[in-house]
């Protein structure tokens, strides 16, 4: 079985049931409009607040795009890049590519023109489908990409260097192309997030994709009655692989464009969402908005919301304790994974293990995990080592990068680069990224431990700890601290709070500034090192 089989199954079993909904809060109409006025707005291309698609329509659109690609000479093994914001077209495009036997190559919507060029060259991309947000960036580099023979544009005002996706697919057959694929075929290339350097191209087979469906349903028990609210970017493995739980169960999903605390809560209420995957900053923002009174939960229908889960980064235990006070009936799970392990789930906490909040958990469905020393031998007790994982979702390789592949894949094990330890019950706790460990005066400091401590401070919204060069100690720990809106804090206040830490773990420098995070919620520590270790001047956040 390959993942496109699940789409075709759903189209046959539930043809007229809604598969996908897109909500665009930027186009939310005035609540005072009459229904007729609202309908006119909804009928305007590009100006709609809510769009939906049935399973039959989903499959038909995927088939039409697949057949369009075949008419352009796309064949099995070719690479087709997707550069779209979250939208109703995204997933049919993705599945259309897979139905041709070509590889889907999702791209980060934050990529600059040069990064688009770099990734397209690295992945040998021959077709690009993109949206209006990227016209300028694509126009700047497409002439420098000789392999890029076809460019399709989603939307109105099609640029002269591209063809109209919307117009051309209407002339293509709605029948699935006769291209045979199996689990051993290559399916997709994803790019690493770049938090430890420039993106690497990660090659996955169909086996990885179908396994991620099974993992997601095994962990979160999706049924056809569930409604998944998808907020993170679909180019990332995390969002898409969590949605795979909806695919395998034949249940509805809602794609929310834009992120705001009130927008998330309203979408949960309006669409009767039962499962929501949040990033740490979004969960914090929701709780802060509730605390400030900006959101009155009594105004919304939230009783159906059964599961909130978080992934993509270490989760502060204090955040989940706050969440459970506000939403005591919610199940909670945390999901650990990498793009190299086809996203979330190779390790997960499990909804039954709420007493272990702070841990990333135990090996996920169909996965193995262990913690090892640099020589590959298992750690003992609570000794810190590198987390390695093994299972059907491990990448094939870093595409065109044999050296990095050899470093990361050894005897079938994926070396994650994350430092971790066991507790007495065998649950795994992340300590930090291997490359983020700070060595100060011969002592190893793990920034995540310091960050978790600082987040307990009532005035701290976000924090990142990095190492700064020091002539005496080699490195010192610096805490970049983002203060909550409307609050004030001083360096002396933070230092006094840190006296509860062992002396060697206390930050030697406090910097009040915004903490940068990428679209998947990970702290951009390379950017912070460039700012604070590279001699660049920045405008620091003033205390408020």
User: What is the pLDDT confidence band of residue 24, given thresholds at 50, 70 and 90?
Assistant: confident
Q: What is the pLDDT of residue 457?
A: 92
Supply 455's token pair. 């987040």
**Which among 96, 83, 75 has a CA at the least distance from the CA of 172?**
96
- Give the DSSP H or E segment for 322: helix 317-326
Q: What is the pLDDT of residue 313?
A: 65
User: What is the pLDDT confidence band of residue 29, given thresholds at 50, 70 and 90?
Assistant: low
User: What is the pLDDT confidence band of residue 539, given thresholds at 50, 70 and 90?
Assistant: very low
Q: What does the pLDDT look like over 416-428, one tens digit per residue?
A: 988 899 999 999 9
**Residues 6+ positions from 502 with CB-CB distance below 8 Å:** none
Q: What is the pLDDT of residue 193?
A: 67
Q: Specify the 3-state DSSP secondary structure of 512.
A: strand
User: What is the pLDDT confidence band of residue 431, given thresholds at 50, 70 and 90?
Assistant: confident
Alpha-carbon span 253 to 275, nearest angstrom:
9
In this prediction, residues 384-405 reach a mean pLDDT of 95
**Residues 6+ positions from 253 with CB-CB distance below 8 Å:** 19, 20, 21, 227, 228, 229, 230, 243, 246
In this prediction, residues 67-87 reach a mean pLDDT of 97
Is residue 93 scored above 70 in pLDDT?
yes
**Which residue segments constitute the domains of the chain, with CATH numbers given?**
3-258 (3.40.50.12780), 306-433 (2.30.38.10), 437-533 (3.30.300.30)
Alpha-carbon span 277 to 287, nearest angstrom:
15
How does 287-316 read in b/e, with b if 16+ C-beta sit within 10 Å?
Answer: bbbbeeeebeeeebebeebbbbbbbbbbbb
Highest-pLDDT range among 11-15, 257-261, 432-436, 507-511: 11-15
Q: Are 507 and 477 in contact (CB under 8 A)?
A: yes
Residue 345 CB-density burial (10 A; 0-12 exposed, 13-18 middle, 19+ buried): buried
User: What is the pLDDT confidence band of residue 367, given thresholds at 50, 70 and 90?
Assistant: very high
Q: What is the pLDDT of residue 340?
A: 94
Q: What does the pLDDT look like over 282-332, one tens digit per residue?
A: 898 899 999 999 999 999 999 999 999 987 666 778 889 999 999 999 999
Q: What is the pLDDT of residue 2?
A: 94
Looking only at the bridges linking them, the beta strands covering 79-83 and 125-130 are parallel
Q: What is the pLDDT of residue 37?
A: 54
- Give the DSSP H or E segment for 418: strand 413-422
Beta strand extents in 231-379 (DSSP E only): 252-256, 275-278, 307-311, 331-338, 343-348, 362-363, 368-372
Residue 354 CB-density burial (10 A; 0-12 exposed, 13-18 middle, 19+ buried): middle
Highest-pLDDT range among 20-24, 35-39, 255-259, 526-530: 20-24
In this prediction, residues 43-63 reach a mean pLDDT of 83
Highest-pLDDT range among 42-51, 458-467, 527-536: 458-467
Supply 166's token pair. 């919307």
For the chain, give the percent of residues with pLDDT over 90: 66
Q: What is the pLDDT of residue 46?
A: 47
Q: What is the pLDDT of residue 33?
A: 52
Supply 227's token pair. 């409604």
Q: What is the pLDDT of residue 399?
A: 97
Q: What does the pLDDT look like over 496-507, one tens digit per residue?
A: 999 988 787 889
Q: What is the pLDDT of residue 489?
A: 92
In this prediction, residues 259-279 reach a mean pLDDT of 93
Looking only at the bridges linking them, the beta strands covering 252-256 and 227-230 are parallel
Q: What is the pLDDT of residue 132?
A: 95
User: What is the pLDDT confidence band of residue 99, given thresholds at 50, 70 and 90?
Assistant: very high
For the chain, give the percent of residues with pLDDT over 70: 90
For the chain, how many helices (H) and strands (E)?
16, 27
**Which among 408, 225, 390, 241 has a CA at the least distance from the CA of 311?**
241
Q: What does the pLDDT look like over 390-399, one tens digit per residue?
A: 999 999 999 9
Is residue 519 scored above 90 in pLDDT?
no
Q: Where are the alpha helices (DSSP H) in 415-475?
A: 447-454
């Amino acid at each position: 079985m390959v993942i496109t089989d699940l789409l075709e199954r759903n189209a046959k079993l539930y043809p007229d049931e809604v598969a996908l909904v897109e909500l665009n809060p930027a186009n939310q109409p005035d609540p005072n409009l009459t229904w007729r006025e609202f309908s006119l707005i909804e009928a305007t291309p590009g100006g709609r607040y809510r769009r939906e698609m049935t399973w039959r329509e989903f499959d038909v659109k995927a088939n039409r795009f697949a057949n369009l690609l075949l008419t352009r000479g796309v064949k099995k093994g070719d690479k087709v890049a997707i550069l779209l914001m979250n939208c109703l077209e995204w997933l049919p495009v993705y599945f259309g590519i897979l139905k041709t036997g070509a590889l889907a190559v999702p791209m980060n919507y934050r990529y600059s023109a040069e990064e688009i060029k770099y990734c397209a060259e690295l992945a040998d991309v021959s077709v690009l489908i993109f949206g209006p947000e990227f016209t300028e960036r694509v126009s700047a580099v497409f002439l420098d990409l000789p392999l890029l023979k076809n460019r399709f544009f989603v939307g109105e005002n099609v640029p002269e260097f591209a063809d109209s996706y919307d117009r051309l697919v209407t002339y293509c057959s709605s029948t699935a192309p006769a291209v045979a694929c199996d689990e051993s075929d290559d399916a997709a290339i994803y790019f690493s997030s770049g938090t430890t350097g420039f993106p690497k191209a990660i090659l996955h087979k169909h086996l990885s994709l179908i396994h991620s469906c099974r993992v997601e349903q095994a962990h979160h028990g999706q049924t056809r009655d569930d409604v998944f609210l998808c907020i993170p970017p679909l180019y990332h493995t995390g969002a898409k692989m969590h949605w795979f739980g909806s695919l395998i169960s034949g249940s509805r999903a809602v794609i929310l464009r834009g992120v705001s605390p009130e927008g998330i809560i309203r979408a949960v209420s309006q669409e009767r969402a039962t499962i929501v995957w949040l990033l740490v900053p979004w969960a914090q923002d929701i709780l802060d908005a509730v605390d400030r009174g900006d959101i009155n939960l009594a105004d919304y229908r939230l009783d159906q919301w059964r599961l909130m889960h978080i992934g993509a980064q270490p989760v502060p235990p204090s955040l989940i304790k706050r969440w459970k006070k506000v939403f005591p009936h919610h199940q909670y799970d945390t999901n650990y994974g990498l793009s190299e392990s086809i996203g979330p789930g190779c390790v997960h906490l499990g909804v039954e293990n709420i007493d272990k909040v702070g841990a990333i958990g135990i090996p996920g469905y169909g996965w193995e995990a262990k913690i090892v020393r640099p020589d590959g031998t298992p750690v003992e007790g609570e000794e810190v080592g590198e987390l390695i994982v093994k299972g059907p979702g491990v990448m094939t390789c870093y595409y065109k990068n044999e050296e990095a592949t050899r470093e990361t894949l050894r005897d079938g094990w994926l070396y994650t680069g994350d430092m971790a330890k066991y507790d007495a019950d065998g649950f795994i706790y992340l300590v930090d990224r291997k490359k983020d460990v700070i060595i100060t005066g011969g002592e190893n400091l793990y920034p995540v431990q310091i960050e978790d401590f600082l987040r307990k401070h009532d005035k701290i919204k976000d924090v990142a700890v990095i190492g700064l060069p020091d002539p005496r100690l080699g490195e010192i720990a610096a805490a970049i601290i983002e203060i909550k809106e409307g609050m004030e804090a001083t360096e002396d206040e933070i230092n006094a709070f840190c006296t509860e830490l062992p002396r060697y773990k206390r930050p030697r420098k406090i910097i009040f500034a915004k903490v940068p995070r990428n679209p998947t919620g990970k702290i951009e520590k390379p950017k912070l090192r460039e700012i604070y270790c590279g001699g660049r001047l920045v405008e620091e956040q003033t205390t408020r």
